[in-house]
Amino acid sequence: MRLLLVLALAGCPSDPPPACITVDLNCGEGYPATFDNVYANTLIPKCSMTSSCHSIEGHQANLSLAGDEASAYAALMAKSSIDPSRARVVPGNAACSLMIVRTDSPGTDYQMPKGDPLHPEESCALIKWVQAGALMGSAQ
C-alpha cells in the first residue's frame, strides 16, 4: 500500500510552479531561436519522443507535442489544462510563460523535462523564442 502511495505522489509536485521567474535574456542559445528550430532541436527530442511525457502515448497535462509542427504550436499556445488560468506560452513574456517557468527551473519538483533538465543553450533558445513573440515558423 505504501508503495502505491509513493508511486501515486511521485509525479505530483508538492508546490505549484510560480507565476513568473527571472530569466536571463542575455543567455547564449544553441541555435537560432525560431519555432522551427525549437521544435526540431528541443521539443521533439526532449519532450515528444515515444517515452517522453508529451508524446502521443504520454500526453501529460493534455499536451501532445508529437505529430506535426502546427499541432504542437497550437497546443503550446493554449491554456494549461491543469491550471486554465495559466498560459503555456505568453508571447513576449518568457518569464511568465508556464513552459519557461517549468523548463528553466532545474532541481524543482515541477521541472520539465523530469529528471534531466534542458541544456542551458536549449533553455535559452526557448526563452528567446517566447520573448521575441513566440511566432510560428522560421521568422525571428
Domain total of the chain: 1
Cα 64 to the center of its chain, rounded Å: 11
Specify the pTM. Answer: 0.80
Establish if 139 belongs to a structural domain: no
pLDDT at 53: 55
Q: Using CB atoms within 10 A of its CB, is residue 101 exposed (0-12), middle (13-18) or buried (19+)?
A: buried
pLDDT at 20: 95
Establish if 115 belongs to a structural domain: yes
pLDDT at 87: 86
Establish if 109 belongs to a structural domain: yes
Establish if 79 belongs to a structural domain: yes
pLDDT at 86: 86
Kindly give the parts of the chain with pLDDT less than 70.
Answer: 1-14, 47-66, 140
How far lies 49's CA from each of 39, 42, 110, in Å? Answer: 12, 11, 20
Angle of CA points 13, 124, 22, to nearest 5°: 60
Establish if 46 belongs to a structural domain: yes
Neighbours of 125 (CB within 10 A): 24
State which residues form the domain around 99: 17-131
Establish if 12 belongs to a structural domain: no
Establish if 92 belongs to a structural domain: yes
Establish if 6 belongs to a structural domain: no
C-alpha cell at 120: 542551458
How far lies 26's CA from each of 22, 34, 62, in Å? Answer: 12, 16, 32
